[in-house]
Amino acid sequence: MNASDVAQHATHALPALEDKSTPAAGKSNRVESVLAVRHWNDSLFSFTTTRSPSFRFETGQFVMVGLQRQGRPLMRAYSLASPSHEEHLEFFSIKVPGGPLTTELQHLQPGDGVLVGNKPTGTLILSDLRPGRVLYLLCTGTGLAPFLGLAGDPETYAAFEKVVLVHGVRRAADLAYREYIQEELPRHDYLGEAVRSKLVYYPTVTREPFLHQGRITDLIANNRLCDDIGLPALSPGSDRVMICGGPAMLAETRALLDARGFAVSPGRGRPGDYVVERAFADA
């Protein structure tokens, strides 16, 4: 996920920057090289980069990513879509019309340099959840990014009996990574067996006919989600939840969970029944 998709960090208030300086590492960032770029549709794209051996992060965290413009770094927060053991870094982004950073990031080519911050952080980490049986990963749009990393991390499957990945979008064309989740992950040499037995993928669309339709919050409120996948209604006694999406979705989902007795993790190192990416949420 990137900050532009959720709060947009006043993107439209910034002037477009024309200078296309070669990225230069600084005290707070490093330069990584683009390995590949994929355009999912006219509004979504992803890119992978090299990963410096010294760069360490926990699966589910985010980091600042950007470009050098007019002699200074132009940076935004992006969730890491790759698990912590991968040799490369992957990012998933929305194309913000007129956005000074995404307007240029979407035109990246293999070999281009990208600035990546030195200090990953974030609250979507397994260690901040209490032990449980079922892990629900609830996301909308590019909020899928951190959960791609978690779905590809063996620690996720070691900690839970079932992992339910719910991705809400407006149109089916916005279901990026669908083939990867449904076809590639189950065939993974190392993770395949765990994925096939534990991962449940539940894509849902709101603005056109689809197998699953409706907003995530509605599907939780009426228990349709759990009925569809054959699991009991969400309960703090057995279930743990991670949430990543727009401010409204985060607020509504939190209210639903709170009403059912779930307790949010109050901060790093203090486990709860659910965690939410606070960096992309309204205070």
State yes or no: pLDDT of 111 exceeds 80.
yes
- Token code pair at residue 151: 């779905």
For the cut 60, the answer to whether the pLDDT of residue 201 exceeds it is yes
User: What percentage of residues in the chain have a pLDDT greater than 70?
Assistant: 89
pLDDT at residue 69, rounded to an integer = 86
Report the C-alpha gap between 98 and 91 in whole angstroms: 20
- Arithmetic mean of pLDDT, 214-223: 97
Contact 186, 193 (CB under 8 A): no
What pLDDT does residue 54 have?
A: 96
Residue-level pLDDT at 138 = 98
**What backbone phi and psi angles, to 5 degrees, belong to 40?**
-75, -40
Mean pLDDT to the nearest integer, 24-29: 78
Residue type, 146: P
Give me the pLDDT at residue 26, please.
72
Residue 15 has pLDDT above 50, yes or no: no
Instruction: Look at residue 37 and tell me whether its pLDDT is greater than 70.
Output: yes
Nearest to 55 by CA among 9, 33, 81, 88: 88
The answer on pLDDT for 27 being more than 90 is no
Q: Render pLDDT for 113-147 as a digit per residue (tens, 0 to 9).
A: 999 999 999 999 999 999 999 999 999 999 999 99
Domain 126-280 top-level CATH class: alpha beta
Does residue 272 have a pLDDT over 70? yes
CB 6 within 8 A of CB 246: yes
**pTM as predicted:** 0.90
pLDDT score of 71: 84
Q: Could you tell me the pLDDT band of residue 22, with boundaries at 50, 70 and 90? A: low
pLDDT level of residue 34 (50, 70, 90 thresholds):
very high
Give the confidence band of 10 by pLDDT, cuts at 50, 70, 90: very low
Please tell me the predicted confidence (pLDDT) of residue 171. 98
Residue 53 confidence (pLDDT) above 50? yes
Q: What are phi and psi of 156, to 5 degrees?
A: -65, -45
CATH code for the domain defined by 3-117: 2.40.30.10
Residue 19 pLDDT > 90: no
Average pLDDT, the chain: 91
Reply yes or no on whether the pLDDT at 9 is more than 50. no
pLDDT at 283 over 50: no
Q: Per mean pLDDT, which range of 8-22, 44-58, 73-87, 204-218 is the poorest?
A: 8-22
Per-domain boundaries in the chain? 3-117, 126-280
Whether 3-117 shares its CATH topology with 126-280 is answered no
Considering only residues 34 and 26, tell me which one the structure prediction assigns the higher pLDDT: 34
Instruction: Give me the percent of the chain exceeding a pLDDT of 90.
Output: 84
